[in-house]
Amino acid sequence: MTVRSLLSITVFSWAAALSAQITAIRAGQLVDPATGTTARDQVILVEGGKIKAIGPAVEIPPKARVIDLSNRTVLPGLFDVHTHLCLGIRTQGGNGLNELLRSLLAATAIETDAYRAIQGVANAREMLRAGFTTVRDVGNAGNYADTALRRAVEDGLVPGPTIVNAGRIITPYGGQYHGLPPTRADIAQPEYLYADSPDEMRKAVRENIAFGATVIKIVVDDQPYLYSVDDVKTLVKEAAAGGLKVAAHCATDTGARIAAEGGVASVEHAYRATTPTLEVMKSKGTFLVGTDFTKQAAHEMGMDEYHGWVVDRLKRAYAVGVPVAYGTDVVFEMPGETRGTLSIEFVTSFDEAGVSPKQILQAMTVNAARLLGMDKERGAIAPGYFADIVATADNPLEKIDAVRHVSFVMKNGQVVRSD
């Protein structure tokens, strides 16, 4: 037998064995965010990418691969429902909003789609390593670099979380670039997809779906022309006809209220939403995805005052009872940090707002899964669910900071990190 044939048999058998492989995880502590409880000494059986059985006395088949996490805390894979994987900006460390807008222009209007797809690959890998097994990527990906990234992850070409992607962000004329020069009005496209009339809105949604968007992202405000409640309803209805939900960028209180009344699935940012607006969101079942900047993140973005605003708004949102899903909006880069480490750090803003570890974990798992319409398949460790599992040294239900040090990650039953 030649070396070559031996090798091919080895590879073939390994692949066949892997598909039929049963994995047994011994979990010293198993956290259920939905109930906020911890079970001790559990066995999780994983087969074909999904969870088959869980319990203290589950029998481990003799041929199963055993992963020993008996000295760790095991919990469902985490979600970040507001990412921009194909965007990275180099800020000058807190030089204010004008500097941020200049950096944003350089990173979007000038950077190539090819480079941005590669940025997406790097960021997807780092998000997964930090424990985020699912992300919702809300646009700013040039001409559908995010669709390419989602496909590459699904095809197994590159490691990354399960991705729900928005394609091009639908906005009133001008997008989010303030002070666009009339001689270069075209530079905001293809980054943004302008839609001003109801017909343009319907067409924009259809165009996004045709090019692989799996969620629709709209900008309601952030410029002189706000979408009206009727506009939002038009967009939500057309997205729903294509089976998609709508995420709405709302920088202002008025925008957040319009978006909620128009029936979007989630209001993004709502940095300074008033309590009456939060009450409208609660009554409509609208998720708050607060992108709650840490002090440092706010500084990097030139938005220092935003940290205090979001902590105060988080406090009020939880007091009102608005459903909250964890989303970060990290687009800046910092030496020694990754997109993953910067994104997981946002739990500290929740902590500062007095949100309990149980509630924070719910925002990062079950709530986020519900927002994405995935709550029957991800966001929990339960039989029939995809095996998206992470582990930490300490129990995050006791101190949330523990999630910042994920040491084991499994996605769809495949181990992507174990240290």
* Number of other residues whose CB lies within 10 A of the CB of residue 5: 9
Cβ closest to Zn ion, residue 296 vs residue 356: 296
Q: Which of helix, strand or coil describes residue 157?
A: coil
* Number of other residues whose CB lies within 10 A of the CB of residue 398: 13
Nearest distance from residue 331's CB to Zn ion, in Å? 7
Cβ closest to Zn ion, residue 231 vs residue 329: 329
Q: Cα 305 from chain centroid?
A: 24
Under the binding rule (CB under 5 A), the answer on residue 80 touching Zn ion is no
Is the CA virtual torsion 290, 292, 293, 295 positive or negative?
positive
Q: Return the residues of window 207-236 that contact Zn ion according to CB under 5 A.
A: none
The alpha-helical segments, DSSP class H, found in 268-402 are 275-284, 295-300, 306-320, 339-344, 347-352, 357-364, 366-371
Name the burial class of residue 140, with classes exposed (0-12), middle (13-18) and buried (19+) by CB atoms within 10 angstroms of its CB. Answer: buried
The first and second tokens of residue 155, run together, are 């095809």
Nearest distance from residue 160's CB to Zn ion, in Å? 18
Nearest distance from residue 84's CB to Zn ion, in Å? 6
Cβ closest to Zn ion, residue 87 vs residue 128: 87
Nearest distance from residue 82's CB to Zn ion, in Å? 6
Would you give the end-to-end CA distance of the chain in angstroms? 38
Name the burial class of residue 34, with classes exposed (0-12), middle (13-18) and buried (19+) by CB atoms within 10 angstroms of its CB. Answer: middle
Cβ closest to Zn ion, residue 54 vs residue 164: 164
Nearest distance from residue 385's CB to Zn ion, in Å? 28
Q: Return the residues of window 39-78 that contact Zn ion according to CB under 5 A.
A: none
CB-CB contact of 410 with 369 (8 Å): no
**Measured at CB, which residue is nearest to Zn ion?**
329
Q: Which of helix, strand or coil describes residue 270?
A: coil
152 Rama class: left (phi>0) / alpha (psi -120 to 50) / beta: alpha
Cβ closest to Zn ion, residue 219 vs residue 387: 219
Number of residues that bind Zn ion (CB under 5 A): 1
Q: Which residue's entry shows tokens 């928005």?
A: 166
Q: Return the residues of window 325-344 that contact Zn ion according to CB under 5 A.
A: 329
Cβ closest to Zn ion, residue 73 vs residue 266: 266
Cβ closest to Zn ion, residue 222 vs residue 329: 329
What are the angstrom distances between the C-alpha of 229 and each of 198, 253, 254, 275?
12, 14, 11, 19
Nearest distance from residue 372's CB to Zn ion, in Å? 16
Nearest distance from residue 268's CB to Zn ion, in Å? 6
Cβ closest to Zn ion, residue 29 vs residue 108: 108
- Among 197, 195, 199, CA closest to 218: 195
Cβ closest to Zn ion, residue 261 vs residue 329: 329
CB-CB contact of 393 with 407 (8 Å): yes
Per-residue DSSP letters for 358-378? HHHHHHHTHHHHHHTT-TTTS
Nearest distance from residue 191's CB to Zn ion, in Å? 12
Nearest distance from residue 251's CB to Zn ion, in Å? 10
Q: Return the residues of window 272-331 that contact Zn ion according to CB under 5 A.
A: 329
Q: Kindly list the residues in this chain that would bind Zn ion in the complex (CB under 5 A).
A: 329
